[in-house]
Amino acid sequence: MARANPLTAMSERRWEQVWTEQQRALASLPSMRGLWLPNVVEPRPWGAVRWTSGRPDYAGSTGQAIAEKFAVTRPDADPGLRNRIVANLTDPSPVTRLLGYPVHEHQIGAMTIGAVCGGLLTATLAALVGGGWVAVLVAATVGALVGMVAGAALATYRNARARSAVLGDTSSVRVVTGRFAPPSWLRLVGASTLVEERASGGYPGVEEQAHEAIHAALWEAAALVLRSSDHTGVEVLADGVERLANAHRR
Each domain of the chain, given as residue ranges in start order, spans: 96-166, 181-250
For residue 8, CA distances in Å to 2, 63, 186 come to: 10, 12, 11
Where helices occur in the chain by DSSP H, the ranges are 12-27, 56-62, 80-89, 105-128, 133-167, 183-200, 208-227, 232-247
Q: Who's near 128: CB < 8 A, 6+ residues apart?
A: none
Q: Are 45 and 33 in contact (CB under 8 A)?
A: no
Q: Are 190 and 6 in contact (CB under 8 A)?
A: yes
Q: How far apart are CA 180 and CA 225, in angstroms?
A: 9
Which one-letter DSSP state was computed for residue 47? E
Candidates 80, 64, 81; CA nearest to 10 is 64
From 70-79, 113-122, 193-202, 232-241, the region with the lowest mean pLDDT: 193-202
Q: How far apart are CA 165 and CA 211, in angstroms?
A: 28
pLDDT, mean of residues 97-104: 70
> Residue 90: left (phi > 0), alpha (psi -120 to 50), or beta?
beta
Q: Are 127 and 136 in contact (CB under 8 A)?
A: yes
Candidates 173, 192, 176, 145; CA nearest to 44 is 192
Q: Are 23 and 56 in contact (CB under 8 A)?
A: yes
Read off the pLDDT of residues 139-191 as tens digits, 9 standing for 90 and up. 888 888 898 888 888 888 888 888 888 888 888 999 998 888 899 999 999 88
From 19-28, 29-38, 124-133, the region with the lowest mean pLDDT: 29-38
Q: How far is CA 111 from the centre of its chain?
A: 24
More confident residue, 20 or 62: 20
